[in-house]
Every structure is written in structure tokens, then in C-alpha cells.
Amino acid sequence: MEWEIAGKKLKSRLFIGTGKLSTYKVIPEIIKNTSVEVLTVAVRRINPDTKIENIMDFIPENTIIMVNTSGARNADEAVKIAKIGAEISKTKWIKIEIEADTKYLAPDNEETIKATEKLVKDGFFVFPYITPDLVTAKKLEKAGATAVMPLASFIGTNKGITCETLLKPIIQELKIPVIIDAGIGKPSHAAKAMELGAAAVLVNTAIAIANDPVRMAMAMDMAVKAGRIAYEIGILAEKEYAEASSPLTGFLKGKQHDL
């Protein structure tokens, strides 16, 4: 089913990052073989004067581009990068990514809030990438963020949903979409994120460095759809004890005269 975000009606709930692709030539094939409609692109990869592959030459028409401020160390740098990227790519969709920490690449939530406030005032659709924190998420919602993008686990680790306890209240309390980003390494991780009630997931590493990026993108696409359907139907509560799927009680009562 279609859903709406930033004034766009989308069919897909899978967003794909392009930062680690060995070649941009796979992008048209990924778009062709999946329902993906949104790609994130780092500004340094869309320089029209580059002597290497320019990613803009490989993105199919009508694909939505979300500029990523990867490399920014504070709010001012993120705003500057966002505006440069938006001008080159003609997009209003901005993923704020500010990582002052160089070991774990943990998002700087405080600087992210500052950048979000500035870019929202300038008319951008802002998608801030954050360490899962309900208070931060609520501040971003109040600041006018289009969605929030809390990490599932540290970027590039492929560990999946390691902070479910922190993600659940964000999903439950916010009125804006929650897009799970970073750490999604398997299709089962993507399905799990959707089962929790996330509006969408963003996957980069697991697709980009797969032996077959196109087929992995297809697998992630199917997993996202399956997880969303399961969430909409309702996930059954877990139980501590076994419960027979075909109870024998009635059968035994009816056969007591034969015993």
C-alpha cells in the first residue's frame, strides 16, 4: 500500500544508501528489479566536475534523491553541505548525518537538532540520523523534522536491531515517521525493523558490499514488505509455555467410552 512522506506518495518502504557501492552501474538494475524509490547520496559523489563516475549519471528519472551530509562534524558544516548538495541535485530531501566521533561514527544528537532547526526554516525536508533517544526524537519532531532516523546498531556493523528497547518508545510516541537506519545487515533485520512498526528502513552496506548487490536489494525489498504486512496484521504475543496447535482435549473426551 502507498504511504506519504514529504509530500510524496511512495510504494516502497525501503530506502537505499549508495556510499559503498563499488560501481554506480548497478543502480539502474536495483531500481528496475525492486520497488525502491529513494536513494541517499553523499555530496562528494555528485560533483559535476568529477573525473570518476558521477552518481547522477546513473540514477533513473523519477528516483527521489536524499542528500546525505556525511562527513559533517557539526551543525554549521552539515547545513553548508546540505545546501551545496541540494543545489547540485535539485532536491529538498536532506539526511542530516553529523558524526564527531571517529571510532564508532555515533551521531551527534545535539548538533543534529541545531542543523535540523536551520534547514527546516529554509524549507527543506529534513531526515535526521540519530542515536536512539526519545527526548532527542521529540525535540526533532518539534523542530519540524520530516522523519527521524535512529540507528539500529552502529553504522556498517551489520549487527541488526541491537537497541530495540530504545527504538520502541520512539516509534510509539512520535507522530512523524520513524525510519530505522544503520546496522541492517540481513533481510531478517529489515523485516524485524518493520515488525516493530517503523515506517521504513534505510540499507547501505548490506546491499553495497554483497556478492550480488541487485539480488540482495531484492531480498531486502521483499523482507521490508513482509515485515510491514506482519505489523499491520498484528504480531502475536510471545508466551513462556508451550501451547499445542491441535489440542487433544475434545478428541479424548469423545473417545472415553473406548478406553
Burial class from Cβ neighbours inside 10 Å (0-12, 13-18, 19+) for residue 79 reads: buried
Distance, CA of 96 to CA of 126 (rounded, Å): 7
**What are residue 149's DSSP bridge partners?**
129
114 is catalytic: no
Q: Which amino acid is at 216?
A: M
Distance, CA of 240 to CA of 259 (rounded, Å): 33
Distance, CA of 1 to CA of 132 (rounded, Å): 27
Distance, CA of 97 to CA of 94 (rounded, Å): 9
Angle made by CA atoms 113, 119, 125, in degrees to the nearest 5: 100
Among the listed residues 95, 118, 192, 225, the single catalytic one is 95
Grid cell in block for residue 253: 473426551
CA distances 164 to 59, 149, 161, Å, are 33, 14, 6
Which sequence positions are flagged as catalytic? Answer: 95
